[in-house]
Structure 1
């Protein structure tokens, strides 16, 4: 009887857990589905009621229209350049800094770590004015450098990678030193290959953060040819306040890379978070 009661409790608990999970997933997915369905509705279609929104007719004319009337491909290319360059260089610098803080004994190492860590406690909006002044002094405003350079020094990557490097056994480093490896070769040949899942997850987060970044690109870029998608979309949407379909179309288009990246690399995100010891 007790075993049956225990199994019954477990079954009820699983049912409640799965019910909550599926309900939460449906609540998150519904706005995305709403946006995608609306983007395929022809301009001027009645969509005031839910049944009208999810019933035919559907068309791809809206996507053709945005490509013909806005430099969407140019904005997409700019976003891809920034979103690919920033993760590579920021994580290279972060991995080097994390290795130095984890394995190289130098003066004021703990102070340096706490200074880097304090960067996570300061919101980006608090430094935006000083960042603009520095960028203006360096004459990099309205260039790719303005979009890329401020994002290279990310404290999150240093923190996560240092935590992972601290968990690697010291015997690996000692054996490599006996074989004559320099510290750079130890970092390149041992630590980086072992931290691939963590680096993959951090690169995905960095890609998504760069792709969705709006405030700094909006302030630092004035040329339409250098705008990224998050900056270009509001300029396009401002001309179409009456019809909901076109704004939904360009927003659906901008969401496609994010959805693809998440679907393909979601296992790396989970594995990287597990290995790095982040508690969500």
Structure 2
């Protein structure tokens, strides 16, 4: 009975995986189909790389992906740094009003991002940062999710480690750097994955703050390119395929870490 149940689960999972991969496969096949040809015609396939050459000649796809990579990487690193320091302070440093301040941070999770767009736009305008990559990086650093995840992890670490470090003369910064950061790699990995993906896929705020094509991210550049070829199927599919290939490569390389990160956020222990 158990064996039949396991085989059933595997079959269902395989079917779901195939259904999830079908759109990606269709996109790749369409990107290799020359404009004006059917995917399958006359008993033979008509596949070529001509669409990729047209797209690369007509749009700065790699420049958009480079902007997305810069924004996502800088955002992720800064979130890990600031969130880990704030979480350590809330978890181990006792100061007046720490619990109330932490509750204020958590209340920020209940505010939808759309509600902050207008004040955020005005703030970036007054700081003369609109239209730059800084305007995409800095607002993402104020998210409370990273502080919450890391504080929960820090609260579960033995206090004896901190006390032993204090007996050796270590201060708060050294304890955070040499003890808490190395032990919190699972939590930091999960936070890094979700921060990077969230920054890479962000669309609404870049749409409002960026107008120069030179500073567009890939999520903003693709709709701009597709709107120029509304009557074409192959070229927009090709542009989307180019934007998807790096993400697929990252997933294939770091799939174990991504799965561990998802499992970690589902419970306190992995």
Measured at CA, do residues 276 and 75 of structure 1 come closer, stay the same or move farther in structure 2, by a change above 3 Å? Answer: closer
> Does the residue aligned with 2:36 lie in a helix, a strand or coil?
coil
Pairs within 5 Å for 1:64-103: 64-103=53-92
Structure 1: state its 5+ residue gaps. 1-8
Q: Distance in 1 between matches of 2:27 and 2:3?
A: 36
* Partner residue in 1 for 2:24: 32
Measured at CA, do residues 247 and 276 of structure 1 come closer, stay the same or move farther in structure 2, by a change above 3 Å? Answer: closer
TM-score normalised by structure 2 residue count:
0.93
TM-score normalised by structure 1 residue count:
0.90
Q: Distance in 2 between matches of 1:278 and 1:248?
A: 38
The match for 2:93 among 92, 104, 113 is 104
The match for 2:192 among 190, 196, 203 is 203
Measured at CA, do residues 230 and 274 of structure 1 come closer, stay the same or move farther in structure 2, by a change above 3 Å? Answer: closer
* Partner residue in 1 for 2:9: 17
Residue 275 (structure 1) shift: 4.2
Q: How big is the alpha-carbon RMSD for the aligned residues of Structure 1 and Structure 2?
A: 1.7
Residue 66 (structure 1) shift: 1.0
Residue 273 (structure 1) shift: 4.0
- Number of equivalent positions: 267
Q: Distance in 1 between matches of 2:189 and 2:147?
A: 14
Matched, 1:248 2:237: yes
The match for 2:152 among 152, 159, 163 is 163
* Partner residue in 1 for 2:102: 113
* Partner residue in 2 for 1:191: 180
Range with greater deviation from structure 2 (173-182 or 100-109): 100-109
Residue 29 (structure 1) shift: 1.3
Q: Distance in 2 between matches of 1:15 and 1:277?
A: 25
Q: Is the 8 A contact 1:164 1:275 kept in 2?
A: no
Q: Is the 8 A contact 1:93 1:153 kept in 2?
A: no
Q: Distance in 1 between matches of 2:134 and 2:198?
A: 17
Shift >2 Å, 4+ stretches: 269-279
The C-alpha deviation readout for 1:224-248, integer Å capped at 9, x for no partner, is: 1111111111111111111211111
Range with greater deviation from structure 2 (176-185 or 198-207): 198-207
Q: Distance in 2 between matches of 1:55 and 1:178?
A: 76
Q: Distance in 2 between matches of 1:216 and 1:174?
A: 44
Q: Distance in 2 between matches of 1:114 and 1:17?
A: 42
* Partner residue in 2 for 1:149: 138
The C-alpha deviation readout for 1:59-106, integer Å capped at 9, x for no partner, is: 111111111111222212111110110000011101111111111111
> Does the residue aligned with 1:133 lie in a helix, a strand or coil?
helix
Q: Is the 8 A contact 1:198 1:273 kept in 2?
A: no
Pairs within 5 Å for 1:219-238: 219-238=208-227
Pairs within 5 Å for 1:51-70: 56-70=45-59
Q: Distance in 2 between matches of 1:221 and 1:97?
A: 30
Residue 269 (structure 1) shift: 2.3
